[in-house]
Amino acid sequence: MARIREGVALFDRTVHLGGSTAVALDGDRATARAAQLSTHALADPPGELFVSGGHADTELVRTPDDWRIAATALRIAWTRGTPPRLPAAAAPGDTI
């Protein structure tokens, strides 16, 4: 949760749009891929925008009650604008 809070603090506002979801069902497991477009208003420097596009890959499993997310990953294909400044404590290659 601390890493999530650090990541969220990088932005004043964000909007994420997803769509064009393709689902492949295999018994009690499924995979889903959805297009993702994310726009972020940065906290530092204020007012700068960072936009990224790509897709989210998600693995799902059926439980006795319902479907649950087993894993998910965002695959960024392109970016535009000013990337967020990672905290000084973050090591090179770290992601938030």
For residue 88, being part of any structural domain is answered with: no
For residue 94, being part of any structural domain is answered with: no
pTM as predicted: 0.71
For residue 35, being part of any structural domain is answered with: yes
**Residue 57 main-chain phi, psi, to 5 deg:** -105, 125
For residue 91, being part of any structural domain is answered with: no
Task: Kindly report, residue by residue over 43-87, the tens digit of the pLDDT.
Answer: 888 889 999 999 999 999 999 999 999 999 999 999 999 888 776
Domain span holding position 21:
2-81
The CATH number of the domain where 58 resides is what?
A: 3.10.450.50
- Is the pLDDT assigned to residue 9 strictly greater than 80? yes
Give the pLDDT score at 54: 97
Task: Give the chain's domain count.
Answer: 1
SS (H, E, C) the chain: CHHHHHHHCCEEEEEEEEEEEEEEEECCEEEEEEEEEEEEEECCCCCCEEEEEEEEEEEEEECCCCEEEEEEEEEEEEEEECCCCCCCCCCCCCCC
- Is the pLDDT assigned to residue 7 strictly greater than 90? no
Q: How far is CA 19 from CA 7, 23, 31, in A?
A: 23, 12, 15
For residue 75, being part of any structural domain is answered with: yes
